[in-house]
Amino acid sequence: MKIRFSIALSMLVGTVLGGAAIQALHAQAKPPVYMVAINELTDPVRYAKEYVPPAQQSVKDHGGEYIAAGPGTPVAGNLPRGAVVILRWDSMEALERWRNSPEFQAALKIGEKYAKFNIVAVNGLK
């Protein structure tokens, strides 16, 4: 009888500790941050040729991930028309490090000759 009780108690304690560990890990995980840009292009050819390659490289070098890119389809409201880019970052701090990096700032100077940038960042839910 004592052995059965010890086994049952051990299983119960293990289950509780495992559940607590999982809860602690989930609480520590931060959701990603998404950046959405709608770029109003004044010179699409030069934008694609001169701005896009160094901008994309800077995103990759700083841990960003492209989720979507291309012409947007208006659904509602008065949004600007242009190229839409959605990037995923591990945190707002990671996005800010990229945005302030010398590599991206150099690309941005080029891009501002050929586009107006409309950018917003939002926290992901999971």
Q: Please tell me which residue, 27 or 14, carries the higher pLDDT value.
A: 14
Question: Please, what is the average pLDDT of the chain?
Answer: 86
Count CB-CB contacts under 10 A for residue 23: 10
Q: What gap in Å lies between CA 120 and CA 79, rounded to an integer? A: 13
Number of DSSP helices (H) and strands (E) in the chain, helices first: 5, 4
In this prediction, residue 19 carries a pLDDT of: 56
**Is 23 in a helix, a strand, or coil?**
helix
In this prediction, residue 13 carries a pLDDT of: 54
Q: How confident is the model at residue 27 (pLDDT cuts 50, 70, 90)?
A: very low
In this prediction, residue 106 carries a pLDDT of: 97
Residue pair 95/33 in contact (Cβ under 8 Å)? The answer is: yes
The structural domains of the chain, with segments of one domain joined by +, span 1-29, 33-123
8-state DSSP, 36 = E
Domain 33-123 class, CATH top level: alpha beta
Q: What is the mean pLDDT of residues 19-35?
A: 68
Residue pair 35/84 in contact (Cβ under 8 Å)? The answer is: no
Q: Please tell me which residue, 51 or 20, carries the higher pLDDT value.
A: 51
Instruction: Report pLDDT digits (tens) over 49-105.
Output: 999 999 999 999 999 999 999 998 888 988 888 899 999 999 999 999 999 999 999
